[in-house]
Structure 1
């Protein structure tokens, strides 16, 4: 379905059935986008495991939280780079290594 394959910004909820957690992760990753995702559940360890497998810049667990220290940005065709947090600041930095011995 196109509603499950496109980045739709608005109050839209697509519900797709699945039989296993592996299938749910495969469905979540079957898109060229990856800005944000949401995992709902009661088993924290399972939710974290699923979240780590989803190809998305942010994954919310049970509640769409916001933290200015957490980097924001997408995977795949949802953009390059990050905003916020240390990762957002690093985009404006040039890193240089100066090596050598001095007497």
Structure 2
């Protein structure tokens, strides 16, 4: 089907597939339980998983780029990730 030589790309994709499976399972659980309170609890759990997956995938990507990108560009990428978290944490 797909041939990917880089193991980091495979790991990044697998993490995203796991995350997507978790999101879909949560959606079906919300429908199954049919209560707003339960759906909100499930959504709260997903709110913790999403940023964690993003950080893990970004970390894997940065590890893969470590030897290919200059230190200054790596700093810019890390600053960008930090700004994303800063932006979503402010009301």
**Structures share fold, TM-score greater than 0.5:** no
Q: TM-score w.r.t. structure 2 length?
A: 0.27
Asked which structure has the greater RCO (Cα within 8 Å, sep 6+), the reply is 2
Which structure dedicates a bigger proportion of its chain to strand?
Answer: 1
Larger of the two Rg values belongs to structure = 1
TM-score normalised according to structure 1 size: 0.25
* Structure with more of its chain in helix, by fraction: 2
